[in-house]
Every structure is written in C-alpha cells, then in structure tokens.
C-alpha cells in the first residue's frame, strides 16, 4: 500500500501532536499522582536490567532526528524504579552506631540513594552498604517515594528506643543499702553486676558464666530493694535448700522463721503469713499455687535457672508472667539463657519487660527467621543476631565469662576420645543402627525428633562396653585423681556404677530420683573424702546447682542435643574454688548417633556465639583414641570371636542379660516414652529439660 506525500505529512503532524500530549501528560503525572505506564513509553519508569542499568526502548544513535526518537530530557534516576517487580530489603543494626541494608537484588535507584548519604560505607566482603544510625531517617524518607516498587523493612521502634534512651550510669550506683555481710563478700566483677541490675531498676538478667556467683549478685540486688519485699525465689527442686542456706549466710538480718519453702499444701498457711518475708518455691509448685503466690503481692522475684522457661505457653511460664507483672523488681539468673536458639530467649525477656516486643510472632520473624508453615510458625532459625545482641546488652542482661574475670582460674581444655570400635557391641545391632541413621536423614522435619531419639537410645547400648573399659583404664592410671562421669540413659549410668563397684572404687551417684535433701551430703562426700574418686551424674539432673571442684577430669559418656546443657555440666568442676586445670573428654563412638549429634552441637554453639550468649566452641577440640591393649578380638572376624560361657560383654564383667535389650523398634520407642531406660528426671518437663518431648533439632 502506497501513500501520497500529503498523507505522509498529515500522519507525521498527527504523530507529533500525539507525542506532545504524552510528554505533557507525563510531566503532570510526576507532580501529582502516578499513572499506569507500559514498557517503552516515553517518560515512564524503566525496569532494572540484569546488570543493574536501565533498558532503553531506543538504542540507536543514528535516528535521533526521527520524530519517534527518545527526547533529550533529564530524568530522575531515583524515580526510575522497576515496574511490576518489587525490590524488598531489610534494615538492621550491626553495631550500636551503624546499620546495614540488605536488598533482595541489585537496583540502581537504591544504590544512588545509598551513595547520597554522607556516612555511606560499602563492605566488599558482604557486598552490602552500611550507614550511621544518624542517617537512618534520611534513608527511609528518600526510599519512601519509591514504594511500592522498592520497600525496605524498617528497624523496629523498640530498637530505636533502646538506642535513644539514656540509662543510669552503673558507676554512680551506691551499694551502701546492701546488707554489709553480703556487700563485703562481693568480688569486684560481682559488684559490677549488682550495679548493672540496679541501673536497670531491678529488672534484668544476670547471665554470667556458671560458677561466677550469680546467687550472690541476685541476693545483693534483692537486699538493695528490701523495701519492696516480700521476696519470691523460684528455682529447681534440688536447689531450694541451697538458697535457704545462702540467705541465712549472706543476709543474717532475715530471721530464719521468716523464710518459707513451699513444697505442698501444708506450707500454704506459713506462706500466707504476713511475717513471712521470703518464699522459696520450685517451678512445678509455682503453677500449682499460682493464686496463693499472687495474693502474697511479692515486690521482688528471683528466677534461678531461667533458661528452663523455654515455652511461652507452658503453665509455669504463664503463672510467672502473671506474678512478675505485679512485681516491681524481677531478676533472672542463667549461665546459658538460650541453650541452642534465639527463640528460647523470648519468654525470659518478656518476664523482665512485658510488652517490650509486641508479640512472640514479631520477635520470631525478626530474630528467629520465622516462617509460616502449614503447621504454624517455624521459629527454629536465627536472623539479625548482631541487633539482638545489642538489645540484650543495652537493655536486658549482663554476661561475663570465666576467662574475662577469673584470670587466676586454670584453663579448661576439651578433648574427644574415639572409642575402640572393637569394644562396641555392634554385632547384633550394626545393621539396625545404619537403618536408624538413614531413617533420621530421610525423615521429614516432624519425624526427625522420634528418629533421633530411637537412634540415640540404641547407640547408648552399643557404647557401654567401650565406656566401661575406658573407665577401667583411667583407674589404672596413677595420674587420674577425682573425676566426673556424665551419662544420659539409665543403662549407661548403671553400667558405670557396676564397673566402679567391681573395681572397689568409692563413688557417688546423682540422678533424677536422688532426693533433694541428700544431694548436698553426696556432694560434700565427693568434695572432702579422698577415697571417693568418682561422681556418676545424670546430664539433666546434675548439670546445674552443684559444686564439684574436687574433680579435675570430666567425662561425657554420652552427648546431649543442647550445647548449653553440656557447658553447664562442665562447669560443675570448672568454677570458683577450682585448683588446677580441668580436662573435659567426650567419648564418641563411630557409626552411632554421635556422628550426627557432634556436628549438630557445633552448629548450635556457633549460633549462641553470634548472639553473644556464649564464647565456647567444640570445633577445636583435640582428638585421641582409646587404648586397645591385648584385645584379641581386633584380629578376629565377628564370626570367629569365641563366645564366653558366662556371656559377658567384651571388655567388662557385665553380663549381657543385665542390660535390657529391646527386640523391636516398637518396644524401643515404647520404653523410651515410658522412661524404662531413661533417667526419670528426663521426663520432668518443669524441673529439668523437657527432655524427649522438646528435642531441639
């Protein structure tokens, strides 16, 4: 089809008029409200290219005189945002005076804004930009007009409040109101902790390393605020008498008749008495007598071993939340505030300052990498840990390690001992353990808990012969003095005790069923009687509240899935009063659950280090091998090993029939749930570790 010269000229003029209208309309829309645009439209926003630049609908330079060519007009780079695609990003603190921005992808308009800020700094390692907190409002105001194409998640208001607030200077706190008997016994770093608690108006957490005297600091803070009493002390059942004796020792002005320990209904009248100044109660009893405790109108509360309050829905947590809300002062104590993940901190922080975080969900999304699934929110991850650490240190807690404050304390060394594989009872269960390992690796997240429990339980039985033989080797070593043995399953504990009996070695044993009033006697025996060389302990029942500094060696016959539990157990020996260094040895067996749990522990401990709640690491432990002397079985194939007529476990004097062995996995699971082969303390959710019901993966 051909057109005349007149038609061509008419169409050209019409196109020019149309172009002029578009330009005029686009100019007005920039000043008022945005209009819908399309790719290639003149004056419309252009999408980000893969290299971060902006695509042009006209790339040729040879036709600039063409009526449809792109006009030479200045454009606002900051308003050239992607169309139909949202660039998101998070803003978080990396120090007290700087924040970082992490965008979902590269986008030039955002980079241009970054470059316009005076405090800009680019980290070549992380490939992210960071700025002074003084430029935060300027950044957000410049990014706001780019919405909804570019959206940055702001720093929460509570974080900004923490940065702006001016707390009381701890150095200005006068400790003269603290009872002199206690004040004169405080070490300098303990006095510093007391001043911190008072500067936080008596609502704080003392998170010092185990063995640094958190009890002294808590009682000193309580003494400072004695005008707010009565005082409530919440602790584990095994520590109630310890707290009572410490009050009598450090606060002699408190009459013994004014201290009540609530253990059952017969104590309720004593607790309600107006003359009662101090009430000591266990976690479990707290939820049982919540109304009685609320009616007492406590002004000061001390919560010992507060890391047990992991679930914000537990009855004990709900009861304590109600009680602490009406208290003027609340002091939490824990050497391991989070045993393995940031989610465990929320409940404790909410007790110290209710309402600081808007909700558990918001806390989880910010610091636990919270994700909504078909089964609810998954809060098992971690995110923005440097920011969380800043909040904790400025607002909630003080933490010191032994290395920081006890320069005279000998160091603690960790070793892993690879057990002799020829002593492992693999013959009948080898294939079963392999199947359990595969079942764990291939199972869904909701099934991993049960799979690891089964694998862990069966691994314990396999390790028993090698563990007992290793202890025999220790006893023959003249350099071995007093030592601790931590184990998890009752079968392992019983086997170790039987080995010590056969060797005529004096020892004590503390498990979940050990009465609280006899534990102090057992500890005193181990500490002061030379013939008592060993303490056999349940990991969960005896990992806290005991001082066993007479030992210089700590053995872990089994692992635990929470690194905080293990480090607490180590500190039974490595604490104030220890003379000489402490060696910690973890007995690991190949082709057992140890292969999965040891790397898991290392990863969890790294998370706690990132949030500033730990400085431990399991990654640089030295490795040794168990001695294998005169063991003919290592030269024989399994089918040629002669069976001894008394059917003893190789390397021990323990009969196989003395160790109950489950025939099927169903029986194993049933016995594990019923606690037949597990220390009974494991099944006490409120008092100990919510053991098998809340396995951290």
What is the CATH number for 113?
Answer: 3.40.1170.30
* Distance, CA of 11 to CA of 220 (rounded, Å): 92
**Whole-angstrom Cα distance, residue 375 to residue 580?**
51
Encode pLDDT of 273-290 as tens digits.
999 999 999 999 999 999
Q: Are residues 72 and 91 in the same domain?
A: no
* Structure confidence at residue 244 as a pLDDT band (50, 70, 90): very high
Q: Worst-scoring range by mean pLDDT, 104-108, 258-262, 545-549?
A: 545-549
- Other Cβ atoms less than 10 A from the Cβ of 562: the count is 28
Lowest mean pLDDT among 45-49, 424-428, 604-608, 655-659: 655-659
Residue 672 has pLDDT above 70, yes or no: no
Q: Is the pLDDT of residue 553 over 70?
A: yes
DSSP-assigned letter for residue 348: H
Give CA–CA dist 626/637, Å, rounded.
20
Same domain, 29 and 99: no
Q: What is the pLDDT of residues 63-76, one digit of tens each?
A: 444 444 444 444 44
In the numeric block, the tokens 């000489």 are attached to: 580
> Would residue 39 count as lying in a domain?
yes
Q: What percent of the chain has pLDDT over 70?
A: 72
What Å distances lie between residue 118 and 113, 564, 625, CA to CA? 11, 43, 58
Which of 237, 230, 673 is closest to 453 using CA atoms? 673
- Flag whether 91 is in a domain: yes
Q: Which pLDDT band holds residue 256 (cuts at 50, 70, 90)? A: very high
Q: How many CB atoms lie within 10 A of CB 450?
A: 17
Q: Domain for residue 82, yes or no?
A: no
Task: Report the predicted TM-score, pTM, of the whole model to 2 decimal places.
Answer: 0.64
pLDDT bracket for residue 34 (50, 70, 90): very low
Q: Is residue 679 part of a domain?
A: no
Round to whole Å and give the CA distance between 542 and 572. Answer: 9
Nearest alpha carbon to residue 232 among 176, 310, 195, 285: 285
Helix (H, G, I), strand (E, B) or coil at 673: helix
Kindly tell me if the per-residue pLDDT of 480 is higher than 50.
yes
| Residue that is written with structure tokens 């489950």 in the block | 662
Q: What pLDDT is attached to residue 64?
A: 45
The answer to whether position 487 is within a domain reads yes
Query: Sign of torsion, CA 392 394 395 399?
Result: positive
SS3 318: helix
314 and 462 within one domain: no
Structure tokens at 559: 């692992």
pLDDT, tens digit, 9 for 90 and up, residues 315-329: 999 999 999 999 999
Q: How far is it, in rounded angstroms, from Cα 568 to Cα 336?
A: 7
Q: Determine the pLDDT at residue 676.
A: 40
**What percent of the chain has a predicted confidence (pLDDT) above 90?**
43
Please check whether residues 460 and 559 belong to one and the same domain: yes
Q: Going along 358-411, which residue ranges are E strands? A: 371-373, 376-378, 397-398
Centre a 10 Å sphere on the Cβ of residue 335 and count the other Cβ atoms it contains.
24
- Across residues 157-163, what is the average pLDDT? 93
513, 680 in Cβ contact below 8 A? Answer: yes
Do 113 and 139 form a contact (C-beta atoms < 8 A)?
Answer: yes
Question: Residue 417: phi, psi to the nearest 5?
Answer: -110, 120
Using CB atoms within 10 A of its CB, is residue 29 exposed (0-12), middle (13-18) or buried (19+)? Answer: middle
Query: Are 419 and 351 members of one domain?
Result: no
363-416 residue pLDDT tens: 999 999 998 888 888 888 889 999 999 999 999 999 998 878 877 667 788 888
- Do residues 322 and 365 share a domain? yes
Maximum pairwise Cα distance, the chain: 120
Query: Which candidate, 562, 553, 671, places its Cα nearest to that of 618?
Result: 562
* 502 and 606 belong to one structural domain: yes
Count of structural domains within the chain: 4
Which is more confidently placed, 591 or 635?
A: 591
* Res 47 pLDDT > 90: no
Q: How far apart are CA 71 and CA 291, in angstroms?
A: 78
Q: Which of 3, 40, 7, 6 is nearest to 22 (CA)?
A: 40
The pLDDT assigned to 614 comes to 60
pLDDT score for 684: 39
Structure tokens at 595: 């292969």
Q: Does residue 627 form part of some domain?
A: yes
Domain that holds residue 373: 183-403
Domain boundary, last residue among 351, 382, 403? 403
Q: What is the pLDDT of residue 430?
A: 53
SS3 labels along 418-437: ECCHHHCCCCCCHHHHHHHH
User: Does 521 share its domain with 595?
Assistant: yes
Q: Grade residue 617 by pLDDT with cuts at 50, 70 and 90.
A: low
Domain containing 477 — which CATH number? 3.40.50.300
Question: Torsion-angle region of residue 165: left (phi > 0), alpha (psi -120 to 50) or beta?
Answer: beta
The three-state secondary structure class of 21 is: helix
Strand order, beta sheet including 300-303: 259-262, 278-282, 231-235, 300-303, 329-333, 203-206, 397-398
Mean pLDDT across the chain: 78
Q: 466 or 449: which carries more pLDDT confidence?
A: 466
Quote the DSSP letter at residue 145.
G
Which pLDDT score, from 0 to 100, does residue 427 have? 54
Residue 426 sits in the same domain as residue 382: no
Lowest mean pLDDT, pick from 207-211, 386-390, 484-488, 691-695: 691-695
Instruction: Give the integer Cα–Cα distance in Å for 364 and 372.
Output: 11
The answer to whether residues 557 and 572 touch, using CB atoms and an 8 Å cutoff, is no
Beta bridge partners of 427: none
The residue out of 344, 372, 403 marking a domain boundary is 403
The alpha carbon of 653 is separated from its chain's Cα centroid by a whole number of angstroms, namely 41
d(CA 187, CA 650): 52
Residues 561, 593 contacting (CB under 8 angstroms) = no
Q: How far apart are CA 58 and CA 219, in angstroms?
A: 77
Q: Considering the domain boundaries, does residue 692 fall inside one? A: no
Residue with tokens 């060389």: 533
Domain boundary among 164, 191, 219: 164
Are the C-beta atoms of residues 179 and 250 closer than 8 Å to each other? yes
Place of tokens 């100019």: 27
DSSP state of 11: H
Q: Are residues 107 and 201 in the same domain?
A: no
Q: Is the residue at 443 inside a domain?
A: yes
Residue 92 and residue 39 share a domain: no
Q: Quick one: 358 and 433 in the same domain?
A: no
Cα 566 to Cα 574: distance, rounded to the nearest angstrom: 12
- The C-alpha atoms of residue 210 and residue 306 are separated, in whole angstroms, by 13
């Amino acid at each position: 089809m051909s057109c005349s010269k007149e038609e061509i000229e008419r169409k050209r003029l019409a196109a020019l008029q149309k172009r002029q209208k578009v330009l005029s309309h686009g100019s007005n829309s920039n000043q008022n409200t945005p209009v819908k645009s399309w790719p290639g439209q003149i004056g419309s926003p252009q999408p980000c290219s893969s290299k971060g630049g902006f695509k042009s609908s006209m790339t040729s330079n040879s036709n600039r005189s063409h009526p449809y060519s792109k006009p030479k007009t200045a454009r606002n780079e900051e308003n050239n945002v992607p169309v139909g695609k949202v660039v998101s990003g998070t803003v978080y603190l990396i120090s007290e005076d700087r924040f970082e921005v992490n965008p979902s992808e590269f986008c030039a308009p955002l980079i241009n804004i970054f470059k316009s800020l005076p405090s800009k700094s680019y980290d070549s390692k992380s490939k992210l930009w960071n700025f002074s907190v003084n430029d935060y409002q300027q950044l957000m105001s410049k990014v706001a007009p780019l919405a909804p194409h570019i959206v940055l998640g702001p720093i929460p208001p509570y974080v900004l409040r923490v940065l702006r607030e001016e707390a009381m200077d701890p150095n200005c706190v006068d400790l003269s109101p603290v009872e002199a008997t206690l004040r004169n016994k405080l070490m300098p770093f303990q006095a510093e902790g007391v001043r911190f608690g008072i500067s936080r108006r008596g609502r704080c957490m003392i998170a010092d390393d185990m063995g640094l005297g958190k009890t002294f600091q808590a009682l000193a803070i309580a003494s400072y605020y004695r005008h707010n009493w009565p005082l409530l002390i919440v602790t584990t059942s095994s520590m109630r008498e310890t707290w009572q004796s410490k009050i009598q020792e450090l606060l002699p002005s408190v009459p013994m008749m004014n201290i009540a320990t609530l253990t059952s209904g017969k104590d309720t009248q004593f607790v309600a008495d107006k003359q009662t100044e101090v009430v000591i109660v266990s976690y479990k009893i707290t939820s049982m007598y919540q109304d009685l405790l609320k009616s007492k109108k406590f002004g000061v509360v001390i919560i010992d071993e507060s890391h047990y309050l992991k679930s914000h829905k537990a009855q004990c947590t709900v009861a304590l939340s109600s009680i602490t809300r009406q208290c003027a002062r609340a002091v939490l104590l824990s050497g391991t505030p989070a045993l393995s993940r940031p989610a465990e901190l929320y409940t404790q922080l909410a007790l110290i300052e209710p309402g600081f975080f808007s909700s558990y969900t918001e806390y989880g999304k910010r610091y636990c990498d919270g994700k909504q699934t078909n089964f609810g929110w998954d809060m098992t991850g971690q995110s923005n840990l440097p920011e969380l650490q800043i909040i904790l240190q400025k607002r909630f807690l003080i933490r010191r390690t032994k290395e920081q404050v006890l320069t005279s304390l000998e160091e603690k060394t960790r070793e892993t001992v690879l057990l002799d594989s020829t002593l492992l009872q693999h013959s009948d269960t080898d294939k079963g353990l392999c199947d359990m390992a595969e079942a764990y690796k291939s199972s869904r997240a909701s099934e991993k808990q049960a799979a690891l429990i089964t694998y862990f339980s069966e691994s314990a039985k396999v390790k028993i012969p090698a563990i007992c033989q290793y202890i025999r080797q220790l006893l023959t070593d003249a350099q071995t003095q007093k030592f601790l043995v931590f184990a998890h399953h009752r079968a392992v504990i019983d086997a170790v005790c039987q080995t010590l009996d056969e060797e005529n070695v004096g020892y004590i044993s503390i498990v979940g069923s050990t009465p609280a009033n006899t534990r102090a006697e057992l500890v005193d025996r181990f500490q002061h009687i030379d013939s008592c060389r060993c303490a056999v302990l349940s990991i969960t029942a005896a990992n806290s509240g005991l001082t066993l500094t007479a030992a210089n060696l700590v053995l872990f016959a089994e692992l635990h899935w929470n690194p905080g539990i293990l480090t607490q157990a180590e500190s039974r020996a490595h604490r104030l009063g220890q003379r000489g260094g402490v060696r910690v040895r973890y007995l690991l067996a190949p082709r057992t659950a140890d292969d999965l749990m040891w790397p898991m522990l290392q990863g969890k401990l790294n998370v706690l280090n990132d949030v500033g709640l730990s400085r431990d690491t399991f990654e640089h432990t030295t490795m040794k091998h168990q001695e294998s002397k005169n063991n003919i079985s290592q030269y024989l194939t399994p089918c040629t090993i002669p069976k001894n007529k008394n059917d003893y476990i190789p390397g021990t004097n323990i009969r196989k029939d003395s160790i109950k062995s489950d025939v099927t996995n169903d029986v194993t699971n049933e016995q594990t749930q019923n606690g037949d082969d597990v220390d009974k303390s494991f099944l006490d959710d409120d008092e100990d570790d919510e053991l098998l019901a809340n396995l951290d993966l």
